[in-house]
Amino acid sequence: MSDIRGYKPVFLGKQLKVNLPQCGPADRTDLARVEGGRSYILRYPHHSVVLSKKRKFPWFTAVNIDGSAFKQINRDSLFPDGKDHWEVDKRVQQFQWGPELYSVQHSDFDRGHLVKREDPQWGKDEKSAMDAARSTFTYANCVPQVADLNQRVWRSLEDYILKKESALNKLKVNVFTGPVLSDEDPVFVNPVKGEDVQIPGMFWKLVYFTNDGKVLSRVAFLMGQKKILLERQIVKPKTELEALAPQPRFFLNFQDAETYQVNVNTIEKLTGLTFPPAFEPYKDERAVKIVLKEVELESTERNPDIRDPGFELEGLVLRK
């Protein structure tokens, strides 16, 4: 695998350094150490992953995207047989859920990439880009997601960030993504290897960018899937008391199968993570739902695979 240095904090420039998020003191003991070393950072081409020992899912992922070096590569050309090949990362083998979770009965969800397959798909040549894209197919980089969420609004948001802004305008951005690992997350209906598995009910995404090379900006998003997981009886409440208890109003929106634009402090409250400071164009304590519309595929000479997501994101307008 070429260039496995991982996420680079100075990717946007030395004066626009974006360090990895930091866990609170109570959560630091839950960080999974990489085998044979002291680091808890799993490094891959252009991206990194930090795992939870207890939950066996990522605390967060971090990726550098270089729109000027992005390579358009079909997914079915990445592997010889044209099919996805997922691997367990042996460096943290005991701290990730592998195929046993996704093959058990009633596991009606996708292997949801946190670092989108195409995000690190860039480099000096096509081989480098393909190596980076293949490196996202590790169980360390995925969390169970309901298919129609993973493949609709959330995917459209990711495509917007990568294709409509970064690649089309040849810009650089940093993206952090992760699940909200809550003690109240519902439990998968079937034990896996005799163990109850809590399935995250919410996911977040945070984009760092600069429009002028001088000011660092950031925008944030949340997606919920708890409601649909419960409706389809893929999961059950952690306890009977929880099933009966009223939910705090703050969390109600994010249980819906929708995606929202939010302030970064909302994600910090939910996750316990602290993110590097930056200018935040979107300022509203109320979450704004992103509505996906029926859209037509754009036809452009530069990239015919760019789809208009059918929504506007306040503050995320990347231009040189």
Q: Is residue 243 predicted with pLDDT exceeding 60? A: no
Condensed to tens digits (0 to 9), the pLDDT of residues 270-282 reads: 899 999 999 998 8
Q: What is the DSSP letter of 253?
A: G
Percent with pLDDT over 70 in the chain:
80
Q: Is residue 230 predicted with pLDDT exceeding 70? A: yes
> CB 39: neighbour CB atoms within 10 A?
14
Q: Is residue 202 predicted with pLDDT exceeding 70? A: yes
Percent with pLDDT over 90 in the chain:
57
Q: Is residue 304 predicted with pLDDT exceeding 70? A: no
| pLDDT, average across residues 28-54 | 94
Task: Write down the pLDDT at residue 268.
Answer: 94
Q: Is residue 13 predicted with pLDDT exceeding 70? A: yes
Condensed to tens digits (0 to 9), the pLDDT of residues 67-97 reads: 999 999 999 999 999 999 999 999 999 999 9
277 three-state secondary structure: coil
Tokens of 171: 């810009």
Task: Write down the pLDDT at residue 189.
Answer: 94
pTM for this prediction: 0.86
Tokens 């980076």 belong to residue: 132
**Cα(60)–Cα(191) distance, integer angstroms:** 25
Residues 175/161, Cβ–Cβ less than 8 Å:
yes
| pLDDT, average across residues 214-239 | 87
Average pLDDT in the chain? 83
Condensed to tens digits (0 to 9), the pLDDT of residues 160-198 reads: 888 777 877 788 999 999 999 999 899 999 999 999 999
Domain 14-71+92-290: CATH class, spelled out: alpha beta
Task: Write down the pLDDT at residue 286.
Answer: 66
User: Residue 260 — very low, low, confident or very high, per pLDDT cuts 50/70/90?
Assistant: confident
H helical segments located in the chain: 99-103, 126-134, 147-150, 153-159, 168-169, 226-231, 240-244, 249-252, 264-271
Least confident of 36-50, 250-264, 284-298: 284-298
Condensed to tens digits (0 to 9), the pLDDT of residues 113-143 reads: 999 999 999 999 999 999 999 999 999 999 9
Q: Is residue 207 predicted with pLDDT exceeding 70? A: yes
| pLDDT, average across residues 11-17 | 96
Q: Is residue 210 predicted with pLDDT exceeding 50? A: yes
**Cα(175)–Cα(115) distance, integer angstroms:** 8
| pLDDT, average across residues 288-301 | 38
**Cα(253)–Cα(138) distance, integer angstroms:** 31
Q: Is residue 213 predicted with pLDDT exceeding 70? A: yes
